[in-house]
A and B are shown apart, each in its own frame.
Chain A
Amino acid sequence: MIKKGKPKKVLILGSGALQIGQAGEFDYSGSQAIKALKEDGIKTVLINPNIATIQTSEQLADQVYFLPIRSEFVEKVIEKEKPDGILLGFGGQTALNTGVELYDKKIFEKHNVKVLGTTVDTIKDTEDRFLFAERVRVAGLKSAISKTVHTVDEAIEAANEIGFPVMVRIAYALGGLGSGIVENEEELKDKTRRAFSFTNQILIEESLYGWKEVEYEIVRDKYNNCITVCNMENVDPMGIHTGDSVVVAPVQTLSASENFKLRSIGIKLIRHLGIIGECNIQYALSPTEDDYRIIEVNARLSRSSALASKATGYPLAFVATKLALDYNLNEIENIITKETSSCFEPALDYIVLKFPRWDLQKFRQVSTELGSEMKSVGEVMAIGRTFEEVLQKAIRMLDINMNGFTANDELESPNLEESIAKPTDKRIFFLSKAFVKGYSIEKIHQLSKIDKWFLYKMKNIVDQMKAVEGKILKDIDFETLLSLKRSGYSDKQISLLTNSKEYEVRAKRKELNIIPCVKQIDTLAAEYPAQTNYLYMTYNGEIDDIETGEDNQVMVLGGGAYRIGSSVEFDWCCVNAAQTLEHHGYKSIMVNYNPETVSTDHDTCYKLYFEEMSLERVLDIYEREFPQGVVVSMGGQIPNNLAVKLHKLGVKILGTSPEQIDNAENRHKFSRILDEYEIDQPEWEELTDLKSAKEFCMRVTYPVLIRPSYVLSGAAMSIVLNEDELENYLIKASDISKEHPVVISKFITDAREIEVDAVSDRGELFCYAISEHVENAGVHSGDATIVFPPQRTYLETMRRVKLITKQIAKALEITGPFNIQFIAKDNDVKVIECNLRASRSFPFVSKVLKINFIDIATTLMIDEKPPVFSKSSFDLDYVGVKASQFSFTRLKGSDPVTGVEMSSTGEVACLGDDFNEAFLKSVLSTGFRVPKKGVLLSTGSPKEKAEILDDLRKLQKRGIYFYGTKGTADFYNQYGLNVEILKRPFDKSEPSILSYLSDGKIDMVINIPKTAEKVELDSDYIIRRRAVDLNIPLITNIQIAKRFMKSLEHFSEETLEIKSWGEYN
């Protein structure tokens, strides 16, 4: 159905790089929006610098701009493309904020661009705390009482009026002093007095601690039809950010009257606000009486809406787009059933559970305690038919070496009660431990405030463990085994409890005919026939919903939870692989469990198993579907790690043989192969005691790079400069022993890192892309800024890199994608690492080169002929630069430096006519601003200081003022550069760096740590941290500093070209 009077060309704002709080879910919603617009024959223009997304693929939007999502750039795109409509609700907070800014500047008005869906005025009402509270009040509804105060006395007055306990909210959490609950006047005085020493405004709020936290996804059309698509309940009660909470859908502990009351309230408010499209409303619900508070409304697609979409099968983003085009809800087809309309509220006949994935151990100085600020980097969703089943599945899906709720390596806790009362990323395991220790439900409830219903269910899991622990497998009867499986016990868990092998448990249960059945997600609980391909497996059922085992199927294993080092790039690879399979007449079966992805969208593949990627479950699916093969090289490390195990069990793996995957993964085997082909590598050795470690380091000379196989205290990979540090590291952090060997390799300084992404056909290199890091070696490749094609690498080096790539392809008989990392210094090329799978940079090089490497790789893996092309990177008249996005602002206290461990959460890439232009666009896309006032310099070693002297001079000529720490300023002043000295934080005197930062006199900080690895709370840390907290651009790498200044010599924000992807030829 085509709507009359709809826009002809619509601009969509994406969300940019993945960061904490704003991740892959917006690729999913944006992609759906584009599809929905295209279906209506509307031209689409997308701005999103996140090159690894599906939405920026060529088959989706008509025009794609890899540009910063900032009002200045968006305006220029509007001027150029002249769209008549814009969607602001599909790119997270970034798109929404940019849209509001553009609206306020009257840019939309000026260019006749209509904001589709919810109006900007309504968006503002939901975004502003006070406006929102007022609208809620006018609607006759309740929100949390909150008062802004400026003095201690005002705070006391407000608290007495609200009634203790109260929540004290402090905007900037510094020095460990954050928001929190105070019980009485004394505590309040103490806390506010300290808070007012560095802020002049705090918020006193009624405390909703321990209340249930519930969310509803609401959809409304312009004809005032309004439905709630999904409701969700946080297992963790109020106090923990919903992004960091374990969430179930539908709600579990609410009575019908509570549930439908919240539904009515939500609909009433959404109508009152006049939202058109989709929104999310959060409530606090009293656990002891009939009372509620509205917490907030998000008038846009959100993480929760992506989750709700996947939880129900209801395509929220798609429907929201249609509603923005003035469709009526019942004019939109239910694309799942194909028989009914979108005007209905899905009925679930299963339960889903979302579990957040944290990576806090990757950061220094960051607190693992959870609170009102989100810290997780990804999430998983488990589907099943009991709570026990979904909880255990979800824990395994996290891929953090945990087997479920029980049967894990025990976590140490000096104070178990505190570990339960003060939630951290590990709390779920402390809960398990408390049950094992026999804590009562009542006690755990008092400590955690988690609703007892959830605790009863958790206790069930532990009780079942206790009942079988120590028994031998032979003695476990049918009923017991079935009940364990119905509670989500994996074969591995059962094997650990019964001291048997995983395969023995599998054999036994298959013999007893205990196998999971395949169920569909159909939005209507089987009430209507549905042609849905959205599947899950459960032991709480006996009969399959579908016929399995069709001909011509190929399975693709997905990427799992987004985490640092593995995110949307692999989803792009998986989706492309599935599309290529379909193109060649295969039926693709996708296996993945990440609700934020496009790969788990209903129209991506022939069949979707929203399932675990454990050996057990992949085999279950394989044995059911008998696909012609399994693709393990697209989803990153999880499927890669399964390759050998699956292969040994007779599963057909497509592409490179799993034995060769093992040859590349196993350090010893790989090293031997390199030696055979006389390919150079940095010297390394695996060591099991301190003495031999010291001897090795003496021989190769410091610095060295250490990788432990077992980690004690957060420190993982590290560069070590001398013997003291070595000793310190090996004793404190990694507990070197025969059981826990460490790998030490020579670290080459001042070297360049080069990457090759390539595809090979039965040992013959088919295509490749060489790219180089802007930073010198020592920055993790996932954090590095990458330029393609290389700009500074010698032709000779390139030639050698290509030669080695060819040799390795041959040696490992590679068919499919692979990636090699090299280190190069003076034309001396060494191999650091090789992965026989797609890498993070595949979408980047594919899109810059406009040759889809994944399509080629997949085609070769199924023995088909890929199209011939005659383009190489040497032919490109433009440059692509990929830059990393860090989320340090979100992780209070973390030290914002990069090192050998990856810490970025996302990336962007932009194109430019030359290196400098692409570089500047890219860094601006990660949130950098060009300094206009002053730059603070604290630039490391004299050598590094000298390295940027010329560039600083040029910048000063352009009117930039410099400040510096004493050492840095003295250095530069003697070379005639004017640098004003500011006092360091510990000097405690003025004029100080900190006050200049706070006063906005400094709008960029270049702080180069002298050593990248030492963990200390020194004054440099304080400067870096403050810069990040104040959102001041921070550069901590000398090559980046240099490149940034070079870019500014040639470009300004105003002179950057506004060219679409298609215009780079």
Chain B
Amino acid sequence: MKNKLKLILEDGSIYTGYGFGHDAPAEGEVVFNTGMVGYPETLTDPSYCGQILVFTYPLIGNYGVPPKTIESNLLTRFESDRIQVNGLIVSDYSHEYSHWEAERSLDEWMKEEKIPGIYGLDTRAITRKLREKGTMLGRIVYDNDSIELDSITDPNDRNLAAEVCIKENTFYQKGEKKIILVDCGVKNNIIRAFLGRNISVLRVPHDFDVLSVDCDGIVLSNGPGDPKSCTITIENTKRAMSENIPILGICLGSQILALASGADTYKLKYGHRSHNQPVNEAGTRRCYITSQNHGYAIDSETLSEDWREWFTNDNDGTNEGIIHISKPFFGAQFHPEASPGPDDTEFIFDMFVRALK
């Protein structure tokens, strides 16, 4: 007999399905992602830390999970060293998989990493609910467990970036030029993007004093949670800005850059989590398809005189990037490193590399 589990949302709605992966309850902020492919990359994206993830694409697990091969000290097929979500919700889990690269099933991987999952429930209905009511907290429980919600803590109240970032500096040696990568929950592909451009990367924890080491530029990484809780990183960024060091912020990093510049951020109703977000580049006729994963956004109304809105979301008009009018400060709300997702905006790395000191 299949093991029944329930997903309970903050508003009391209940969805019943069958368990896979690790057999245990879980809790977190329930969010949905509309990407149709790329679960190994998505599940290991540190920006999902503290969340229960709903895949809107119903068939998940089809091509198994690739092996943990390492190159330049990074897992080649994953975005961090572990599954970052607290739980996974899918419609039709594929018990059997097929791919030449695959080494084990999604179920086996989740068991190893102690992450529970539920399949066989109406993921579209859950998505619609989250869209209408906004992101909610939720819990995965056994079928016969009592339904209680009061005790869930909002992971956004914590400094999640501090939890997921690297604890000690790591150096990835490549060419002459070097950037400091402030890890707030960085995806491996950001590091790969620089190594691939022959730039050495010094990866540092979120609170590292970026002015204590020489560098040609600073990258503020993506990461989970509310940017306003990254107070030390914001302070460090302000100091770096006053030194005119080239800075690139990605996702959470872009929000940190905005906060450091004096602008404000706010929480979106249900965020952008997908591979198909169109963004328009200001002053051009160009529109790019981007991979995104964020629950907060920059309030472009609050940008100071020297800053311009660089990109906007073509669907809802929200800010997707900021740029300084004279200094080499760039922020992209989307993920130019893709993985998973389209690589239309990889040119941002090229731009930044050209701007390095």
Contacts and interface: CB of A to CB of B under 8 A. Distances in A.
Contact of B343 (A227, A264, A343): A264
Interface stretch (A15-23, A427-435, A537-545): A537-545
Interface string A281-317: 0000001110000000000000000000000000000
A453 B125 CA distance: 27
Contacts of B2: 479
B99 A341 contact: no
B228 interface: no
Contacts of B125: 541-543
Given A289-B100, A330-B278, A453-B63, A386 B315 contact: no
A746 B58 CA distance: 58
B274 A349 contact: no
Nearest to A289: B100
B98 A526 contact: no
Contacts of B288: 225
A250 interface: yes
A253 B59 contact: no
Given A287-B100, A330-B280, A347-B34, A529 B127 contact: no
B244 to A, nearest CB: 33
Contacts of A348: 36, 57
Contact of A347 (B56, B280, B285): B56
Contact of B63 (A227, A254, A288, A343): A254
Contacts, number: 170
A456 B315 contact: no
Nearest to A287: B100
B131 A541 contact: no
A827 interface: no
Interface in B18-47: 32, 34-38, 40-41
User: Which range holds the interface residue count of chain A?
Assistant: 35 or more
A451 B94 CA distance: 14
Contacts of A97: none
B225 interface: no
Nearest to A334: B315
B62 A525 contact: no
Interface string B178-218: 00000000000000000000000000000000000000000
A28 interface: no
Contacts of B134: none
A519 interface: yes
A452 interface: yes
A527 B127 contact: yes
Contacts of B280: 330
A456 B96 contact: yes
Interface string B247-273: 000000000000000000000000000
B124 A519 contact: yes
B56 A349 contact: yes
Contacts of A453: 62-63, 94, 96-98
B143 interface: no
Given A345-B289, A524-B34, A253 B128 contact: no
Interface stretch (B229-237, B297-305, B333-341, B349-357): B333-341
A526 B127 contact: yes
A344 interface: yes
A385 interface: yes
A465 B222 CA distance: 49
Contacts of A253: 62-63, 98-99
Given A256-B41, A525-B34, A340 B63 contact: no
B342 A263 contact: yes
B98 A452 contact: yes
Interface in A517-538: 517, 519, 524-529
Nearest to A524: B34
Interface in B130-160: 131
Top 5 nearest A-B pairs by Cβ distance?
Answer: A256-B38, A256-B340, A456-B96, A453-B98, A543-B125
Given A347-B276, A386-B92, 14 more contacts: A250-B36, A251-B37, A254-B37, A267-B344, A289-B100, A328-B287, A341-B278, A344-B276, A347-B35, A348-B57, A525-B124, A529-B131, A540-B91, A542-B121
Interface of B: 2, 15, 32, 34-38, 40-41, 56-59, 62-63, 66, 77, 91-92, 94-101, 121-125, 127-128, 131, 274-278, 280, 285-289, 314-316, 338-344
6 contacts: A345-B289, A527-B274, A541-B122, A541-B125, A543-B124, A543-B125
